Structure 1
């Protein structure tokens, strides 16, 4: 049985799968040109896989980031997919501009690397927060305690002078009362000693000296009671002010603790503090940052290091052909428009000439008709006849 002869141009009948076409789309390759580039098919599939991996990583990283700041996970998920799509768009734009025919390769490559590093550095943060979640929670607790201590010190310094003034005033009033009470106690002791014979004159009973000492004691006690009555409200007011200050400090400390949270910036701060105080973590941290940066740079790196095959040549030639065809089509369209305008002008001239030829005899008859009526009318002026003929017989110039 003879084999059917297939023309040379129809022997390659490669049909890519849907997934392969999707990978080609991720790599920004043109399916129509890549179908005939046998070697480049796999290269662009590899590039597409790197873009797919970066896309998935970006979506997960941004979803976790939004989960730390959004109130609901159902809000964080669509936001994560949205930002992942933006990263995908940026990556496709970066690798689309890389080809072997670029005249200035260094500057675009530096720009792409800077953009990729910037995005990758930010994307690495949520991943690191997820990996070190337990350590970060512990460090966050320690950081909050330090913040609380700093806040307490600030509040203490804020009310320090006022409390010192009130305390000094209270102490002064209390000392004044104590000194007065000491005088009263001494006078009372002198009076008692005089009455029982243990002091003074040594005579038992209420005598003149004892009476004098009693009067002195009663006088001092009355002064003390009067002083106590006037000073106790002042001391109570000072104690109330001091208690108000203490209550205010406690309230502000309680209010300050309500601002403690587990948000993104708080976790980042805890991570930085953890790295500073934990040398064992530093090396692993920077290693993970490099790895995560490489994940973001994968599409650019893959597009740069993979050798170029026939696809780029086909794309360049196809673009050159399309440019040439656009120029040719515009030129031909211009010629057709000029031909149309020329023929239209010629035909319009002929139509106008024919119009005047056909209406020549009718215009002459109409002029004769005007002339006959003019003769029949009584006292008509020639100027009136001329004006009427101008309005109904003569033509006007086009503007």
Structure 2
């Protein structure tokens, strides 16, 4: 079957897989292999588009961005694999590009398997995410407490000092009041009942402590309240920041889900989840490389030989054209040189009589000139009648 007998679908599949339809159409077995590679390449492109769309959908609310990004990645994978298959088919293997493609497949396989595992184990991931979220909130509280620790400790210290002054003065007042009472009823002190001289002195002490206590309360209570207001402001600020942190992280992103997956894998004693993760990664890698693997399995020597022959013919044709052009240039150079030399000879032959006449006129002028020197006429002779001025 030649190219004229092939269908449009055949030519499309051959071209898509990186084969030249005019050549592959004359290869009996290889054209069938090329169709298989093309179908696998389409599957790889669709898989890449769907996988990348799914991946971008995990952190994008818009449906258009994941779809466009997925289509772009699918087109890129098809174009890159097509270039590699075309280079392999022509017998010129670029091992650097091939290694890059295998590395890309491995990275994408591991990279894309993660969101799939997250989807498969969504209930377990959600529970683990909530635990991690609570831990992160607690860590945030500790960070904020450490951030405002110095200010809070300073305010608490000032408040405690002011309250200690009030408590100490109140203790002195209570002790003075007790001394005065037992002095008055005779149960203590001097043992005299009634408002004696000692009782009067203790009363004065009591009244002085009452004044001190009242003064200290009036001075310290507003300060304590002001300090407590500042402490409450700091606490409210910490509480508001915690609430803000929780509201901003209410929707769990891909990173915390990946962290939850890692925690589940570490806690999975049976190793089932880890095994499934690696198995899924391997499956995705093989799907991505299926078209290249098929090309390596199909050696396609017939197509490769014809391509090699065409390239040899083209190279030989170019070399022949180069040789013809160079030969023409050499021949033209020789003809041009011969033509110019002949013209120059003819010029000097025809110029002999003119030169002799000019020389005679020059010598006659020297004979009639009584002042001119030999050097002057020699220089004039060289300027007018010779091609070289200095020799």
TM-score band, normalised by the shorter chain?
0.7 to 0.9
1:47 aligns with 2:28: no
Q: Distance in 2 between matches of 1:142 and 1:40?
A: 58
Match in the other structure for 1:154: 143
Indicate the RMSD between aligned Cα atoms, in angstroms.
4.1
- For the 8 Å contact 1:120–1:297, the answer to whether it is kept is no
Q: CA deviation at 1:351?
A: 2.3
Q: Distance in 2 between matches of 1:384 and 1:100?
A: 80
Q: CA deviation at 1:39?
A: 1.6
The 3 A distance-change label for structure 1 pair 210 and 16 is farther
Q: CA deviation at 1:311?
A: 0.8
Aligned runs of 1:250-261 on 2, under 5 Å?
250-254=239-243, 256-257=245-246, 260=249
Match in the other structure for 1:34: 24
Aligned runs of 1:281-296 on 2, under 5 Å?
281-296=273-288
- For the 8 Å contact 2:382–2:388, the answer to whether it is kept is no
1:247 is matched with which residue: 236, 241, 248? 236
1:325 is matched with which residue: 301, 305, 317? 317
- For the 8 Å contact 2:265–2:273, the answer to whether it is kept is yes
Q: Distance in 2 between matches of 1:13 and 1:163?
A: 86
Unaligned runs of 5+ in 2: none
Deviation per CA, 1:294-316: give whole Å up to 9, x if none.
22112221212234341122122
1:58 aligns with 2:48: yes
Q: CA deviation at 1:45?
A: 1.9
Match in the other structure for 1:223: 212
Deviation per CA, 1:236-271: give whole Å up to 9, x if none.
354244334323423543554476365544443344
1:363 aligns with 2:370: no
Q: CA deviation at 1:293?
A: 1.7
Q: Distance in 2 between matches of 1:164 and 1:377?
A: 123
- For the 8 Å contact 1:51–1:88, the answer to whether it is kept is yes
Q: Distance in 2 between matches of 1:352 and 1:128?
A: 91
Q: Distance in 1 between matches of 2:108 and 2:349?
A: 81
Deviation per CA, 1:14-37: give whole Å up to 9, x if none.
444444434323322222221211
Deviation per CA, 1:95-154: give whole Å up to 9, x if none.
34435967998x986665334212333344455556666765665454333211111123
Larger deviation: 239-248 or 313-322?
239-248
1:393 is matched with which residue: 380, 385, 388? 385
The 3 A distance-change label for structure 1 pair 304 and 390 is same
Q: CA deviation at 1:332?
A: 3.3
- For the 8 Å contact 1:61–1:126, the answer to whether it is kept is no
Q: Distance in 2 between matches of 1:73 and 1:377?
A: 108
The alignment covers a number of residue pairs equal to 384
Larger deviation: 64-73 or 42-51?
64-73
Aligned runs of 1:1-399 on 2, under 5 Å?
12=2, 14-66=4-56, 77-98=67-88, 112-125=101-114, 128=117, 139-160=128-149, 163=152, 166-167=155-156, 170-171=159-160, 173-188=162-177, 191=180, 211-254=200-243, 256-257=245-246, 260=249, 262-276=252-266, 281-372=273-364, 379-396=371-388
- For the 8 Å contact 2:109–2:282, the answer to whether it is kept is no
Unaligned runs of 5+ in 1: 1-10
Larger deviation: 27-36 or 87-96?
87-96
Partner-residue secondary structure (3-state), 1:98: helix
Q: CA deviation at 1:352?
A: 1.8
Q: Distance in 2 between matches of 1:84 and 1:372?
A: 97
